[in-house]
Amino acid sequence: MDLFRYRFTLLPKEKVQEFLKFNDLEYVPITEEEKKMHEEDLMNSTYGLSKTKLEETEFYKVPFQAALDLVRPRKVFLSKGFAFIPHDQIITLILNDFRTRLSKALALSARSLPIVQSDERLQPLLSHLSHSYIGQDFSSQRNTGKISLDQIDALALKSFPLCMRQLHKSLRELHHLRHGGRMQYGLFLKGIGLTLEQALQFWKLEFTRGKVDSEKFDKTYSYSIRHNYGKEGKRTDYTPYSCMKIILSNPPSQGDYHGCPFRHTDPELLKQKLQSYKVSSAGINQILDLVKGMHFQLACQKYFELTHNVDDCGFSLNHPNQYFAESQKLLTGGRDIKKEQAATESSQSEPPTQITSSSSSSTNVTSTQPEDMEILEQFLSEY
């Protein structure tokens, strides 16, 4: 998907038209008459579009069901069952179609696997695929009980990825999070070491500061917290969400604060958030360029480098708990990373505060994480 997206962005405008025609995709450019007819609506529905840019921007008219990812957050103009998609958003539609074709091809490949495995040229390559993901295993509770509740605010400022810092800030301000936010943030806190008893105390103290009394919390919310720790229901010990799961599943709607800020936040609002966290102007531009190219995990990795004052973080980011663990190892002296030589503007980072654990863990070679497999299986189950 990433390779396809990268190659598509390199195509000039005329080649894009050839590509759409060759693949029988129903993305028809609107006429100048239609553009003038809907001029005001197109400008109001498209972020950062001025009247001058409107004349230069190509719009495509597609059935609205083909653009649900853009319709849901109200990023496109709808009229008579059609969505009007600006040229720079057409990749969203094409990726959906590519994902469908890729899923079908994967299903066909699975059926052919016995024959392919008999080929001695391919068998070693296939055997290696299941071990190609290298990352920490955050399903076990090696860190359980090694942080205290009074450390969470300080840790959120220094070592939480932006998605979790956003959830923590919203929880502290609103004294409530909806289900998606509670799941994403609660499992993250579990992964960094919060025990079940600490989690119940943490959420209850915060919710009862708002509109939820103690009795309602015990009746409505405590069950789901115990469920996450494998103490209720089918007693599954749930693992923290990976970056892929956060980016691809359950996008936030109005009133939600979960999701990936680099994927689900409007670029201008993201810019303001980064400015409030004292990220340098040059750094913000680097992050926004990565977001524009749909490289959300690389944008988060750049955020780590900027807020920790390093020029190379030395790891490939794929999990919020990995972000936390690497941050703690850096701030508590667990590993050495080359510092930036050039002077940079001040960042949000403060002098490191000692905590009771570095939250470091060994690196394991594992197969694809369970949550990632769930996403793939969801795609394949449709065919």
* 129: CB partners within 8 A, 6+ apart: none
pLDDT tens-place string over residues 180-236: 999 999 999 999 999 999 999 999 999 999 999 999 999 999 999 999 988 888 888
Q: Which residue has the higher pLDDT, 300 or 131?
A: 300
CA distances from residue 42 to 69, 73, 145 in whole angstroms, order as listed: 17, 15, 53
- Residues of the chain within CATH 1.20.930.80 domain(s) are 2-94
- Burial group, residue 132, by CB count within 10 angstroms (0-12, 13-18, 19+): exposed
Residue 134's beta-bridge partner residues? 365
Q: What pLDDT sits at residue 19?
A: 86
**Helix 320-331 vs helix 162-174: crossing angle, to nearest 10:** 100
- Domain 2-94 classified CATH 1.20.930.80? yes
Check residue 193 and report its DSSP letter.
T
pLDDT tens-place string over residues 62-106: 888 878 878 888 888 888 888 888 877 878 888 888 988 999 998
Q: What pLDDT sits at residue 358?
A: 36
Q: Which residue has the higher pLDDT, 241 or 117?
A: 241
Dump the DSSP string for 26-44: --EEPPHHHHHHTHHHHHH
Q: What is the pTM of this model?
A: 0.56
**H helices within 118-195, ranges in order?**
123-129, 152-158, 162-174, 179-192
Count of CB atoms situated within 10 Å of the CB of 24: 6
Q: What pLDDT sits at residue 206?
A: 95
The first and second tokens of residue 277, run together, are 């966290």
- Burial group, residue 327, by CB count within 10 angstroms (0-12, 13-18, 19+): buried
Q: Comparing 123-137, 257-271, 345-359, which segment has the lowest mean pLDDT?
A: 345-359
CB 157 within 8 A of CB 350: yes
d(CA 275, CA 287) in angstroms, rounded, equals 12
pLDDT bin (cut points 50, 70, 90) of residue 365 is very low
d(CA 285, CA 293) in angstroms, rounded, equals 12
Q: Mean pLDDT across the chain, nearest whole number?
A: 81
CA distances from residue 338 to 50, 305, 308, 352, 362 in whole angstroms, order as listed: 43, 11, 11, 17, 21
